[in-house]
Amino acid sequence: MQEKDWINPKIEIRETSNKGRGMFTTSEIKEGEKVLMWGGNYVNAVEAEKAKAAGKLVMQWDEDLYSIEDRGEEVGYFINHSCDANTWMADARTLIAKRDIEAGEEVTADYALWENGDYISGWECRCGSPLCRGRVTGQDWKLPDVQARYRGHFSPLINSKIEKEVVE
Ligand SMILES: [Zn+2]
């Protein structure tokens, strides 16, 4: 069953001048407030394999939790990347505010929170942050400064990889 994405009613999707559509607040969102919950189609490893074989785009979020992406269909797709994002993950399908987000600010997520593996962005990041990494890759979560910034708030899969790395 395909559940709809949920976005905080204080957010609207707007056209930007340089990066397509983005999410902007219409009033302040407080630190810790829910920003976005992906509905999507979450499945186990067996179902994910079948979907992959059928040519669908599959993302892994936890040990045995995958989503079958229907990109472009759902509002959750319109969150833009920033290398110094104002949201982070609370669990496999929920983004919360990392800090207070002022009215009119763009709501962003660092794609390093969930990208893992051989992903390399086809675009060059222009987030303007002094922390900007340029291109976003599925290896960014391994960078010490990225880990320090989002510790415990990556996808559950990446959180546990980081924990293991520290232990080993
Ligand atoms: Zn950037």
- Taking the centre of ligand 1 as the mean of its atom positions, its distance from the CA of residue 150, in whole angstroms, is 15
Which runs of consecutive H residues, i.e. helices, occur in 22-155? 45-53, 144-150
- Taking the centre of ligand 1 as the mean of its atom positions, its distance from the CA of residue 94, in whole angstroms, is 22
Q: What is the pLDDT of residue 99?
A: 98
* Residue (of 32, 167, 20, 12) closest to 105 by Cα position: 12
- Taking the centre of ligand 1 as the mean of its atom positions, its distance from the CA of residue 160, in whole angstroms, is 25
Which runs of consecutive H residues, i.e. helices, occur in 20-143? 45-53
Q: What is the pLDDT of residue 94?
A: 95
* Residue (of 94, 110, 116) closest to 162 by Cα position: 116
Model-level pTM? 0.89
| Domains along the chain with CATH numbers | 6-167 (2.170.270.10)
- Taking the centre of ligand 1 as the mean of its atom positions, its distance from the CA of residue 99, in whole angstroms, is 18
100-125: pLDDT as tens digits: 999 999 999 999 999 998 899 999 99
- Taking the centre of ligand 1 as the mean of its atom positions, its distance from the CA of residue 136, in whole angstroms, is 8
Q: What is the pLDDT of residue 73?
A: 63
- Taking the centre of ligand 1 as the mean of its atom positions, its distance from the CA of residue 130, in whole angstroms, is 8
Question: pLDDT tens digits for the chain (168 residues)?
Answer: 457 889 999 999 999 887 789 999 999 999 999 999 988 789 999 999 999 898 888 889 999 999 887 655 677 778 999 999 999 999 999 999 999 999 999 999 999 999 998 899 999 998 999 999 999 999 999 999 999 999 999 999 999 999 988 665
Contact call for residues 5 and 79 (beta carbons, < 8 A):
no
What CA–CA distances, in Å, run from 106 to 4, 73, 78, 94?
22, 21, 11, 18
Structure tokens at 17: 């001048």
Neighbours of ion ligand 1 (CB under 5 A): 83, 125, 127, 132
Q: What is the pLDDT of residue 168?
A: 56
